[in-house]
Structure 1
Amino acid sequence: MPQPTPRKEHPLSMRLPDTDIAIIDRAARLRGRSRTDFVRDAAVRAAEDVLMETTPIRMSVEGFDAFMATVSGPGAPVPEMVDLFRRAAPWEAGHSPAGE
């Protein structure tokens, strides 16, 4: 007889006011998700953000020197960005873009 696989899920219980539930449910419906999926994804994203903000980045002295040289050096134009800034904004349809 096969052994049952242990559950890898952990229940999480929260007490929330009706107003919070209403907001969460509305947002979940707009995304086509269940409340559980919506809350789980939001909580995991928030946790990842915190971890990324607090996780130190380690590198060698040589790597740090190369990084500093790169970020301290002169910037180079990105052709796609230059083109983007030369275009008129959609709400400026009657205006000609700068430089044209």
Structure 2
Amino acid sequence: MADPVERKEYPILIRLPEADMAMVDRAASLRGRSRTDFVRDAAVRAAEDVLMDNRLVRMSPEGFAEFMDVLSAPVAPVPDMVELAKRPAPWEAGHTTKR
């Protein structure tokens, strides 16, 4: 009897309405990906987002106090951000783009 082969990939079967499948196919095509690659990447990315959004952060009372001290400290300006905030927005009158 042959040794069982350890499975490395698992199939997922989903049923989609025609309009949804057409949208997935179009998006996959625009990315130059196969339907399978596109759906797999989208599903994994969505799963990562959910897991990161629901991650519990634990810290000691001392660590929490230090965290709150950092949040409560006065902010220090970041020179690049200050300069950026002073620039006119592209949609404002008189704006010129450097090339």
Taking structure 2 as the reference length, the TM-score comes to 0.82
- Structure number with higher helix proportion: 1
Taking structure 1 as the reference length, the TM-score comes to 0.82
Per-residue deviation, 1:91: 2.4
Secondary structure of 2:12's aligned partner: coil
Between the two proteins, the alignment pairs up a number of residues equal to 94
Q: Which amino acid aligns with 1:85?
A: A
Residue in 2 aligned with 1:26?
Answer: 26
Q: Which amino acid aligns with 1:88?
A: P
1:1-100 alignment to 2 at 5 Å? 6-92=6-92, 94-95=94-95
Give CA deviations for 1:23-82 in whole Å, capped at 9, x if unaligned.
111111111111111111111111111111212001122111111111122222111111
Q: Which amino acid aligns with 1:90?
A: P
Secondary structure of 2:69's aligned partner: helix
Which structure 2 residue ranges, 5 or more long, are not aligned? Answer: none
Which structure 1 residue ranges, 5 or more long, are not aligned? Answer: none
